[in-house]
A and B are shown apart, each in its own frame.
Chain A
């Protein structure tokens, strides 16, 4: 076990540099920055209209809508496509995966190390983005209102809940796209299939709803998306039968562990055939 931990840490050390500083990953930073820019723009606009009432309830709903419909489903989703699919498939394209396969490390241990390295990167990038969005959204309120929101309101609870949901989104989507990187050559196909699957989630039978990431994430969000959102967003965001946190958190983690283990078994049979890439 100690050897596995040492090996996993060695993989994480090797990977984090590649994941954080790869030129190929610049667009992931752009994805994470996009909603921050949106909220900063929103706050600047509010500051330029001093007569406008600052309404915490409205801002909270706006944040919930953008977080669920735009940030989780597009930014975090495609960010995870970029980070996690690159861990195996990117090395195939770079023709450097064989270095891992020629080391005395079990391939499932390698997968665990790669997953943790990807998770570290995704969590830092998108967790930080969530925090900045949250701050930017309420930035234009005056200090007295903000103090009230933090001390007596839901600020801390919401902040921690959104950070937690972001991390769980990285865990869930990360595990799926890591597995997809082992199974498929073209990231577009699994990304498109899973995007559609996640979008139709509210319309699926109860059991199938649980075989998705967004079902658990929606259930864990501290604020439901307001019904006044225009279709199709309101349809996508609706959560008729939310899971309780006691079910949602272990459920999502279990789903992710199963997917990573399954990918670990699949990678045992993966062959190095760069000419086919």
Chain B
């Protein structure tokens, strides 16, 4: 099946002699995809390439089969909430979104209706007629989000969209992203807040020094990192007995009692074998309450793959 995607074909971008990204090959499916990496790793460069704000030195980018060189079609499908915290001078939030919609050729009445819908969605109706210059950082983020989504794009690109949002609005915004993804939209997010990326992403792209070092679903990426055995936390009634049985297994490289005494942390090189074995153990009198991977999150991936370069924030 030919699923429309965001395609990077051998894309490189150099700023003079400085590397932006190099030899990037990606096919991003619908859903929420997070770009993760330290500062300067190439996240914003990828997003700017995706939306035509910069052009590749080599290679080709297509979004749903369209190129940013065809803006009339392209930007009806794509919305980009950039990291730039600047706005046209003197605009109110309403004017900012409305005037952008007029550039689509929307008649004034239609633009008005779409503007209010977008502003309601991000929850700043009361401030809509105030000048953006007087907005808080969080409100500026939200009006940018309203502008990026006012035309109901199929692809939404968000560069650090949760910056400056308070916890309540942050949760609402994340719920909004999930809703977009459920509606079949491609949502591309860059964020340095890893636990949030972890909570919302269907897949991740890890970047370091301009190179894509891993991509795919978080668990799939985790399983491919062989030098770091998988960590699994088992909650059970007899952790000591379970530990003794675990040490008999060749693929288990470490078994450590959890500090609260109610569980066991296992490191194994063969998670599939481990889960099979665990079923047998459960049948032999040890009461297992829960089994959960302890390091198949973005934070761990980041630490294993990028870790030494910059700690996550």
Contact = CB atoms under 8 A, between A and B. Distances in A.
A265 interface: no
B54 A105 contact: no
B173 interface: no
B256 to A, nearest CB: 47
Contacts of B244: none
A104 interface: yes
A22 B89 contact: yes
B86 A103 contact: no
A106 B71 contact: yes
A271 B87 contact: no
Contact of B89 (A18, A98, A105): A18
Nearest to B76: A104
Interface in B100-130: 100, 102-105
Interface stretch (A5-13, A170-178, A193-201): A5-13
B252 to A, nearest CB: 50
A95 B72 CA distance: 22
Contact of B71 (A18, A99, A104): A104
B71 A105 contact: yes
Interface string A185-213: 00000000000000000000000000000
A17 interface: yes
Most buried by B among A18, A99, A101: A99
Given A101-B53, A102-B53, A271-B55, A96 B102 contact: no
What does DSSP make chain A's interface, helix, strand, loop or mixed?
helix
A104 B88 contact: no
Contact of B55 (A11, A96, A269): A269
A94 B100 contact: no
Interface in B41-99: 48, 51-55, 69, 71-76, 79-80, 82, 84, 86-90, 99
B103 A7 contact: yes
B73 A10 contact: no
B102 to A, nearest CB: 4
A143 B69 CA distance: 62
A87 B284 CA distance: 77
A98 B82 contact: yes
A108 to B, nearest CB: 10
A89 interface: no
Nearest to B79: A102
Contacts of B53: 98, 101-102, 271-272
A101 B86 contact: no
Contact of A105 (B99, B103, B147): B103
B51 A99 contact: no
Contacts of B72: 3, 104-106
Nearest to B69: A268
A96 B99 CA distance: 14
Interface in B9-65: 15, 48, 51-55
Given A98-B53, A104-B75, A105-B103, A17 B90 contact: yes
Greatest chain B CB density within 10 A among A11, A14, A100 is at: A14
Contacts of A106: 71-72
Given A98-B53, A98-B82, A272-B53, A103 B90 contact: no
Interface residues of A, number: 31
A267 to B, nearest CB: 12
Given A98-B53, A98-B84, A271-B54, A103 B89 contact: no
B102 A104 contact: no
B54, B76, B84, B87: which has the most chain A beta carbons within 10 Å?
A: B84
Nearest to B55: A271
A274 B102 contact: no
B123 to A, nearest CB: 22
Contact of B105 (A3, A96, A98): A3
Contacts of B71: 101, 103-107
A214 B87 CA distance: 37
Contact of B99 (A10, A102, A269): A10
Given A3-B72, A104-B74, A104-B76, A99 B88 contact: yes
Contacts of A105: 71-72, 75, 103
A14 B104 CA distance: 13
A273 B103 contact: no
Contacts of A13: 99, 102
Contact of B52 (A11, A101, A273): A101
B158 to A, nearest CB: 13
Closest A-B pairs by Cβ, 9 of them: A104-B75, A95-B86, A10-B102, A103-B103, A272-B53, A6-B105, A271-B54, A3-B105, A10-B103
Interface of B: 15, 48, 51-55, 69, 71-76, 79-80, 82, 84, 86-90, 99-100, 102-105, 147
